Amino acid sequence: MRDCLAPADVSLGRVLGVRVLRGLAVPVRGRDGSVAAAVNVSMSSGRHSRETVVERFVPSMMREAAAMQADLRLL
């Protein structure tokens, strides 16, 4: 996971009362291996630590991405 936050995102977060957002995405690849879609989630960083996000969300997101990839191979 990499940390990334654009200045405009920080400003919007302050206006909305959110200090920092945390986001995570897993690619869904098509038949040819190119990225066809993504499974993603975003949340307030105060809710879960970075480590908890990785441990709790990545495995299920990867399972869902794999299931979608299997469906795409059937098309």
State mean pLDDT over 42-52: 82
| pLDDT at residue number 23 | 84
What's the predicted TM-score (pTM) here?
Answer: 0.69
Q: What is the Cα–Cα distance from 4 to 45, expressed in whole angstroms? A: 13
Give domain status of residue 2, yes or no. no
Torsion angle of alpha carbons 50, 20, 40, 56, nearest 10°?
30
| Tally of domains in the chain | 1
Give domain status of residue 1, yes or no. no
Q: Which range of residues forms the domain containing residue 12?
A: 7-74
Q: Are 68 and 40 in contact (CB under 8 A)?
A: no
Q: Rounded to a whole number, what is the distance in angstroms from the first to the last CA of the chain? A: 31
> Which CATH number covers residue 40?
3.30.450.40
| pLDDT at residue number 19 | 63
Give domain status of residue 37, yes or no. yes
Average pLDDT value for the chain:
82
**13 has pLDDT over 80:** no
**37 has pLDDT over 80:** yes
| pLDDT at residue number 44 | 80
CA pseudo-torsion sign 57, 63, 66, 71: negative
